[in-house]
C-alpha cells in the first residue's frame, strides 16, 4: 500500500485491465451474459454509499459514477461491463481524481472497494477469465 501512496503523489488516476501488472488491478470476470452482468453491476453500484451514478449507457456497457472524498475532491469513475463471449462478462474500472495533485492512492482504494462489492454480490458467478 505504501508503494501506491508514493505512486499516488504523482499520479491522479488508476485503471484495471487484462494486462495490469498489479494482480489487484486485473479485470474481473463473471459467468454471466453481458446483459445480466450489466443489471447486477448497475444495481450494486446504485446502492453503494458515497457513490453517485451520473449516467449509464447500456449499449456500450459504461456506467459513470462520481465520488466525493473527505477532503472535498471529486473522483470520476467509469465502470465498463464487457462481453467476453455469450456466457461471460468482464468488468473494468477507471478512476480519476479531479485537480492537478496526485491522489495518494485513493483511486486504487476506490477500485478495490468497488471490486469487493461486486465480487460479494456476484460471488456465485466469479471466474478467473474467459473459461
79-107: per-residue pLDDT in tens? 999 999 999 999 999 999 987 777 778 89
Contacts of 55 (CB under 8 A, 6+ apart): 63, 64
Over residues 100-121, the mean pLDDT reads 89
Report the pLDDT value the prediction gives residue 15, as an integer from 0 to 100: 94
Distances (CA, A) of 16 to 37, 47, 70, 90: 17, 22, 24, 11
Residues forming beta bridges with residue 57, ordered by sequence position = 62
Residue 8: closest CA among 119, 97, 112, 103: 103
Distances (CA, A) of 109 to 48, 58, 87, 88, 104: 15, 26, 29, 26, 10
Q: Which pTM does this prediction carry?
A: 0.90
Tell which CATH classification among 3.30.70.360, 3.30.43.10, 3.30.310.220, 3.30.200.20 matches the domain 2-127: 3.30.310.220
The least confident of 4-13, 30-39, 59-68, 85-94 is 4-13
Amino acid at each position: 500500500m505504501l508503494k501506491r501512496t508514493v505512486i499516488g503523489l504523482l499520479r491522479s488516476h488508476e485503471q484495471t485491465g487484462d494486462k495490469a501488472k498489479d494482480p489487484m488491478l486485473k479485470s474481473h470476470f463473471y459467468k454471466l451474459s453481458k446483459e445480466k452482468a450489466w443489471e447486477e453491476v448497475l444495481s450494486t453500484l446504485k446502492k453503494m454509499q458515497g457513490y453517485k451514478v451520473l449516467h449509464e449507457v447500456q449499449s456500450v456497457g459504461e456506467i459513470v459514477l462520481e465520488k466525493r472524498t473527505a477532503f472535498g475532491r471529486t473522483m470520476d469513475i467509469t465502470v465498463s461491463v464487457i462481453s467476453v463471449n455469450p456466457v461471460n462478462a468482464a468488468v473494468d474500472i477507471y478512476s480519476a481524481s479531479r485537480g492537478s495533485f496526485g491522489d495518494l492512492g485513493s483511486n486504487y482504494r476506490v477500485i478495490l472497494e468497488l471490486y469487493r462489492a461486486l465480487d460479494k454480490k456476484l460471488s456465485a458467478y466469479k471466474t478467473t477469465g474467459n473459461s
